[in-house]
């Protein structure tokens, strides 16, 4: 387009946009779009707040639920689903002190921690012989290093060996950690990795032992329910998108009217240019 034509085109748009009607309409559009945008962000905040509230209620319900036998919730060698997460279950059997690993690289309350995971062998019932990895608690990494530096016995908090009933919260198996770790260490609480060390049948989950049943003097591990993901409330999120769509529609509406005015102005100008020839 030649420069002269470009300037004429720009003048057409500017002339149409600065009419009283379009300026008043522009002011109205700015107000409506601003209000709709603010309402959209308000609904977005509400989505987060409602999501947090829903997560809080779910946490409270999971923690308040009575513990049920593991046989009613999850069978060995079966997939772990979302419906199993955070369930309080009970198992009867024995810990095996020879089947225990330490998982490093964790923090609890801002302190470096070693998670102590021990094999629990179910004794009796339909799951007789099944193995559940149990996160019994945690040790401070500094305690273990200090004990080793002093030439003392290794701090591993051996489990009780008597038959007992334990109660805990189910969590899904983690991904396998790094390989090449020292003996007695694991990179993660992975049911698949531990099955290679301890054998099968094994549950596709691990149990976080509750504080009242802590053996071995360990500090209780944080409950997986405390780390429950917060999903935004979908209804409020949809409302936020709707408000932003209204704001965009207001702007598009003004531009459409402006385009129509420009087209009508050009047609009128063309008619005036042809008038002397008729």
pLDDT, tens digit (0-9, with 9 covering 90-100), for 123-174: 988 999 999 999 998 887 655 544 443 333 455 678 888 899 999 999 999 8
What is the Rg, in whole angstroms, of the alpha carbon atoms belonging to the chain?
A: 33
CB-count exposure of residue 181 (10 Å: 0-12, 13-18, 19+): middle
At 107 the pLDDT is: 85
pLDDT at 276 over 70: no
For 256, list phi and psi in degrees, rounded to 5.
Answer: -65, -45
212's tokens: 């009242």
Model pTM greater than 0.75? no
201's tokens: 């049948």
Gap between the Cα atoms of 141 and 148, Å rounded: 11
At 147 the pLDDT is: 41
For 217, list phi and psi in degrees, rounded to 5.
Answer: 70, 20
pLDDT at 264 over 60: yes
Gap between the Cα atoms of 276 and 121, Å rounded: 103
* Residue ranges per structural domain of the chain: 3-50+233-277, 86-223
At 116 the pLDDT is: 92
The helix-helix angle for 234-274 and 3-17 (nearest 10°) equals 120
Side-chain-side CA neighbours of residue 220 (13 Å): 13
At 151 the pLDDT is: 38
3-state secondary structure the chain: CCHHHHHHHHHHHHHHHCCHHHHHHHHHHHHHHHHHHHHHHHHHHHHHHHHHHHHHHHHHHHHHCCCEEHHHCCCCCCCCCHHHCCCEEEEEEEEEEEEEEEEEEEEECCEEEEEEEEEEEECCCCCCCCEEEEEEEEEEHHHHHHHHHCCCCCCCCCCCCCCEEEEEEEEECCCCCCCCCCCCEECCCCHHHHHHHHCCCECCEEEEECHHHCCCCCECCCCHHHHCCCCCCHHHHHHHHHHHHHHHHHHHHHHHHHHHHHHHHHHHHHHHHHHHHC
- Torsion over CA: 193, 77, 83, 64 (sign): negative
The Cα-based distances of 141 to 61, 138, 220 in angstroms read: 33, 9, 15
At 105 the pLDDT is: 85
- What is the percent of the chain where pLDDT is above 70? 78
90's tokens: 């009970």
CB-count exposure of residue 162 (10 Å: 0-12, 13-18, 19+): exposed
pLDDT at 119 over 90: yes
pLDDT, tens digit (0-9, with 9 covering 90-100), for 45-98: 777 666 666 666 666 666 767 889 999 999 999 999 888 888 989 999 999 989
The phi-psi region of residue 105 (left if phi > 0; otherwise alpha if psi is between -120 and 50; otherwise beta) is: left
């Amino acid at each position: 387009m030649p420069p002269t034509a470009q300037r004429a085109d720009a003048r057409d748009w500017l002339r149409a946009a600065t009419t009283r009607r379009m300026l008043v309409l522009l002011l109205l559009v700015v107000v409506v779009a601003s209000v709709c945008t603010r309402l959209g962000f308000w609904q977005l905040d509400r989505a987060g707040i409602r999501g947090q509230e829903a997560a809080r209620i779910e946490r409270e319900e999971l923690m308040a639920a009575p513990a049920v036998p593991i046989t009613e919730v999850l069978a060995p060698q079966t997939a772990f689903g979302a419906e199993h997460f955070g369930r309080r279950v009970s198992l009867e059997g024995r810990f095996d002190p020879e089947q225990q690993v330490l998982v490093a690289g964790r923090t609890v309350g801002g302190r470096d921690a070693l998670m102590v995971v021990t094999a629990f062998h179910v004794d009796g019932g339909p799951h007789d012989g099944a193995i559940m990895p149990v996160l019994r608690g945690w040790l401070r990494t500094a305690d273990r290093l200090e004990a080793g530096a002093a030439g003392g016995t290794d701090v591993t908090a051996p489990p009780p060996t008597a038959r007992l009933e334990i109660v805990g919260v189910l969590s899904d198996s983690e991904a396998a950690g790094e390989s090449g770790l020292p003996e007695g260490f694991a990179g993660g609480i992975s049911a698949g990795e531990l099955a290679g060390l301890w054998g099968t049948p094994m549950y596709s989950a691990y149990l976080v032992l509750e504080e009242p049943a802590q053996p071995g003097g360990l500090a209780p591990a944080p409950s997986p329910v405390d780390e429950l993901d917060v999903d935004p409330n979908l209804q409020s999120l949809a409302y936020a998108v709707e408000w932003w769509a209204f704001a965009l529609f207001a702007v598009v509406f003004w531009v459409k009217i402006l385009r129509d005015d420009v087209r009508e102005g050009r047609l009128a100008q063309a008619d005036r240019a042809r008038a002397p020839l008729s």
